A and B are shown apart, each in its own frame.
Chain A
Amino acid sequence: MSAPEELPPHGRAPDRSGRRWPKLVLLQLVVWPLAIVLGELGLRGVRAVFGDGYSADAVRTALGDLQARNREFTPKTGGDLPWNPAESERAERVAHPYVGYEALGGLEVLEDQRADFRTTSTHREFRLAIFGGSVAEIFAQSGEATLRRVLGADPRFRGVDVRILGFGRGGYRQPQHQAFLAYLFALGLEPDAVLCLDGFNEVALGRQNARFGTHASFPSIPHWSQLVARGAEQPEAIAIAARIRGTQAELEEFTTWALDRELARSAWLGEWAVRRAAALRRETLEASDAYTQVLRANESRLALGGPMIRGDLELPVQTSVAIWKEASRNMRAMCTARHVPYLHVLQPTLHDDGAKPIHPEEVEKGAIDTDWLEGVRTGYPLLRAAGAELEQEGERFVDASRIFANVAEPLYLDSCHFGQRGNELLAEEIAARLLEVLP
């Protein structure tokens, strides 16, 4: 019979943890990496089974896009370009008496354009003025080479220097184009042809205006309210602005970190990174909406809301289409009287049913605000019908909303802007139609 085990003086059992910890550490070192690998494989497997295989490239693109959209309202065609603060400074919106707002850079460019109109060249010149929103703005740059090439191949353009004058601005919508054209004519600037490339902003932003109680004839309310609102220096507005800047900075830091650390290599981390970045983006957009609301509260109803015409606010998309049609008539009237050929093109957009077979890449990039979506779905058929009416009256109208209908490759950078390839395709069509319009 063995002697009873001697208890320590305070009566506790002997501490054996000293002998157990190496085993515990070893176990942790084996179990956790195994769990991570299994989890990773499991998630990839499950996604593959459901036909939604994980793609690290798609995650990197999504993060890059969220980062780009966080920086600029209008995405650049080369999404991987570094942010240029000087360029952004030029894109700042300032008040303009006849078009509501203008980019600071646009005011400066107009000076160059006026000088260009005054100079007499030894070559014959053909100046094509392009009006519209950001799609037209991008088209004037990305479609320029194709326009020059196709026009240059025509005998009428032999020895002619083709100049593209971009008057498209982010967020512009009718009646801003008509007002811009009238202003340019009043300044004595008369181009050789006018192209109006529009449609999306009219219906999408018109619908959004209505949500904020602003008439469809007024400029896009997030653009306009910043300039006329008086409450920007009020504490409530600054607090929200601080929140916007805070989440923007957070999103910038997070996406940079996630891309630098290659989180996309892991399905779990990649998914998490995209979700977190998207949540931050959502937060920014919500705060932006709140900011607009606060500014609205401080401003005169009439200055922000525009005319309160019975029925128009209830049917904002229909009203926007009617304005689009009437404003185009005015542009045509001004051009015709001056013998300036006028071509009106309805721009294509991703969420217009039948516009394009949507590529999975475009599904991810093309997330759209619900107001915009409703505007497009309701508005595009109406725009097509109104365009047909304009055409019957004698307007040179081109319905380019189906121009990508047979293009399977991804073209869109978001819900409405397309990249270089899309602009080239559109430029070919527009140049061909332009040749029909020119004498």
Chain B
Amino acid sequence: MSAEHAPISRGRRWFERWVFWPLALLLVALALELGFRAQRIVAGRPYLDAKAAWRVDQLADENEKLSTSRTAPAADSSSDSMFAHPYLGFVRRDFARGLTRAIEAMRARPDVVHVVVVGGQAAHAFVTSATEALSTELARRADRQGRRVVIWNLADAQYKAPQQLELVSYLTALGARPDVVIDISGRNEIQIGGANALMDTHPVYPARTNWEALVRRGAVDRTSLDLLVEVWNTSSEIESLVARMRSGWVHCGLWAEGAIERLEKLALDRDLALASFQRRAEASQRQIVLRGPTPPSETQTITNVCVSVWYQATFDLSSVCAARDIEFVSVIEPFGAGGRRDEASNGRRSEAKLTTGRRGLVQAATQLTKRGVTCIDAAALAPEPLSPRDTALAVATEIGRVLRKD
């Protein structure tokens, strides 16, 4: 029997399969690794495990930092007193709760005289100072005797037209049926509307300072979400690559060099996507969201637009009320030179603007009266400017009088 036909023993076959060939492959890999390292030394760029590990740590740290900043818990919304409302622009927490209570009460208690007061700062102050006087005045009418008068304060210091209109429309759409709606406004329309225009926001929009705080929360539109997703995906890929490197592969120069290059590319992609996302959050398209329609730029036009918004919104508010037999009174609050002298703040120019604006409002109110809207000029109720409390009482008395007359 010749040697080439000699049977191969089982032990030898096992040795060849499980020891010899793996070792041979390992040696080949080792030779390649050493060759690679030698080539790098000759090229003057030696591959050093410690340096590679340091670079991996550096990239991992950057990724980690980014991840930590992204995963930081969101601001505790419960501590915020103001949030976005689809029809009013913004509401305060207490206001939102009060609104719900008012709607429930108006739906459930038709036996009570429900009075809704809307408007800005003066309306708010009016409810505080004149609730009792107004209740007494309103209860004096024959058809209301024996009925309890409840006054709902749905004014907000920063509200301005058309927020009152949107609010009353919303209330009535929800089935709330007040008996009387009192809108005390004017100052915010001129002052906030004017300030809006100066900050490149249309006067019809809510106070820019409030609106901006709610809008500038980062972009969550589709493209921005895609960018966030890209940041997320590249960041996750970096994490898994770093984990593999740290599991020992960093010592394999042949593989690790390519992996570090890949890590660097991923980190660059991630940063680019993140930069695009951040840029997008402040992109020009956000300007139109903040700005609304193009605002007027000339002083006189700004005032005219502010007056026009108040006029149009008050007329519609009156129409919505009239269609439901809700009594409506519009009160122009005292401010500027037509109001108390000590209220003329922030210099003469500001006072002049307010005074011009108020004059415009009074003229607009005259037009509204001709169209059947009940308007009261609070500044005309007394020959001399009154204190806020006295003004509120005088307004309450006048409201009682005009409603009795109606």
Question: Residues of A at under 8 Å CB distance from B?
Answer: 9-10, 88-89, 92-101, 104, 107-108, 110-111, 114, 174-176, 178-179, 182-183, 185-188, 217-219, 224, 226-235, 238-239, 241-242, 245, 298-300, 302-303, 307-310, 322-323, 326-327, 329-330, 332-334, 336-338
Query: Which B133-169 residues have C-beta < 8 A from chain A?
Result: 161-162, 165-166, 169
A323 to B169, CA, bound (A): 11
B100 adjacent to A337 (CB under 8 Å):
no
B170 adjacent to A185 (CB under 8 Å):
no
A187 adjacent to B293 (CB under 8 Å):
yes
* A170 smallest CB distance to B (angstroms): 13
A186 adjacent to B104 (CB under 8 Å):
no
B74 adjacent to A231 (CB under 8 Å):
yes
Task: Flag B57-74 by CB within 8 Å of A: 1 or 0 each.
Answer: 000000000010011001
A241 adjacent to B104 (CB under 8 Å):
no
B313 adjacent to A309 (CB under 8 Å):
no
* B354 smallest CB distance to A (angstroms): 21
Residues on the B chain within 8 Å of A108, using CB: 288
B78 adjacent to A330 (CB under 8 Å):
no
Contact of A241 with B323 at beta-carbon distance under 8 Å, contacts A232-B220, A300-B77 already known: no
Residues on the B chain within 8 Å of A94, using CB: 221, 285-286, 288-289
Contact of A217 with B170 at beta-carbon distance under 8 Å, contacts A88-B222, A186-B312 already known: yes
A309 adjacent to B100 (CB under 8 Å):
yes
A240 to B405, CA, bound (A): 63
B86 adjacent to A224 (CB under 8 Å):
yes
Interface centre among A9, A224, A231, A232 (most CB of B within 10 A): A232
**Other contacts beyond A107-B292, A337-B318: 14, CB < 8 A:** A92-B222, A98-B89, A186-B309, A188-B312, A217-B173, A226-B220, A232-B225, A298-B74, A300-B93, A303-B83, A307-B99, A308-B100, A309-B103, A338-B319
B166 adjacent to A303 (CB under 8 Å):
no
Residues on the B chain within 8 Å of A338, using CB: 315, 319
B220 adjacent to A337 (CB under 8 Å):
no
Q: Is B179 an interface residue (CB 8 A)?
A: no
Q: Is B174 an interface residue (CB 8 A)?
A: yes
A327 adjacent to B173 (CB under 8 Å):
yes
A333 adjacent to B320 (CB under 8 Å):
yes
Q: Is B308 an interface residue (CB 8 A)?
A: yes
Q: Which of B206, B215, B294 contacts A111 (CB 8 A)?
A: B294
A187 adjacent to B204 (CB under 8 Å):
yes
Query: Considering only CB atoms, which chain A residue lies closest to B93 in the complex?
Result: A302
Residues on the A chain within 8 Å of B205, using CB: 97
Q: Which of A239, A308, A326 contacts B175 (CB 8 A)?
A: A326
10 closest residue pairs by CB, A with B: A100-B86, A333-B323, A97-B89, A337-B319, A186-B162, A303-B83, A232-B220, A307-B100, A175-B173, A327-B173
Interface centre among A229, A242, A338 (most CB of B within 10 A): A242
Q: Which of A88, A111, A186 contacts B204 (CB 8 A)?
A: A186
A10 adjacent to B7 (CB under 8 Å):
yes
A241 to B219, CA, bound (A): 14
Residues on the B chain within 8 Å of A174, using CB: 173
- Interface window among B228-236, B329-337, B374-382: B228-236
Q: Is B172 an interface residue (CB 8 A)?
A: yes
A100 to B319, CA, bound (A): 23
* A78 smallest CB distance to B (angstroms): 22
A89 adjacent to B223 (CB under 8 Å):
yes
Residues on the B chain within 8 Å of A327, using CB: 169, 173
A97 adjacent to B228 (CB under 8 Å):
no
Query: Considering only CB atoms, which chain A residue lies closest to B323 in the complex?
Result: A333
Residues on the B chain within 8 Å of A322, using CB: 175
Q: Is B279 an interface residue (CB 8 A)?
A: no
Q: Is B217 an interface residue (CB 8 A)?
A: yes
A228 to B85, CA, bound (A): 9
A252 to B222, CA, bound (A): 16
A296 to B164, CA, bound (A): 28
Interface centre among B86, B175, B319 (most CB of A within 10 A): B86
Prevailing SS type, chain A contact patch:
helix
Query: Which B194-249 residues have C-beta < 8 A from chain A?
Result: 204-206, 211, 214-215, 217-218, 220-223, 225-226, 228-229, 231-233
Interface centre among B84, B205, B288 (most CB of A within 10 A): B84
Residues on the A chain within 8 Å of B54, using CB: none
Contact of A228 with B315 at beta-carbon distance under 8 Å, contacts A179-B170, A235-B71, A245-B229 already known: no
Residues on the A chain within 8 Å of B83, using CB: 228, 300, 302-303
* B77 smallest CB distance to A (angstroms): 4
Q: Is B316 an interface residue (CB 8 A)?
A: yes
Residues on the A chain within 8 Å of B211, using CB: 97
B323 adjacent to A179 (CB under 8 Å):
no
Residues on the A chain within 8 Å of B103, using CB: 307, 309
Q: Which of B165, B218, B319 contacts A232 (CB 8 A)?
A: B218
Q: Which of A300, A330, A336 contacts B80 (CB 8 A)?
A: A300
Q: Which of B74, B173, B309 contacts A323 (CB 8 A)?
A: B173
* B210 smallest CB distance to A (angstroms): 9
Contact of A330 with B232 at beta-carbon distance under 8 Å, contacts A183-B204, A185-B312, A309-B104 already known: no
A179 adjacent to B319 (CB under 8 Å):
no
A428 to B85, CA, bound (A): 38
Contact of A300 with B174 at beta-carbon distance under 8 Å, contacts A97-B206, A175-B87, A233-B228 already known: no
A-B contact pairs, 7 of them (CB 8 A): A96-B289, A175-B169, A176-B87, A183-B204, A185-B313, A238-B229, A242-B232
Contact of A95 with B323 at beta-carbon distance under 8 Å, contacts A242-B233, A326-B172 already known: no
Residues on the A chain within 8 Å of B228, using CB: 232-233, 238, 241
Q: Which of B91, B221, B316 contacts A182 (CB 8 A)?
A: B316
Q: Is B125 an interface residue (CB 8 A)?
A: no
Query: Considering only CB atoms, which chain A residue lies closest to B232 in the complex?
Result: A238
* A288 smallest CB distance to B (angstroms): 12
A330 adjacent to B172 (CB under 8 Å):
yes
Residues on the B chain within 8 Å of A303, using CB: 77, 83-85
Q: Is B386 an interface residue (CB 8 A)?
A: no
Q: Is B75 an interface residue (CB 8 A)?
A: yes
A99 adjacent to B220 (CB under 8 Å):
no
Q: Is B45 an interface residue (CB 8 A)?
A: no
Residues on the A chain within 8 Å of B312, using CB: 185-188
Q: Is B324 an interface residue (CB 8 A)?
A: yes
Query: Considering only CB atoms, which chain A residue lies closest to B285 in the complex?
Result: A104
Residues on the B chain within 8 Å of A229, using CB: 220
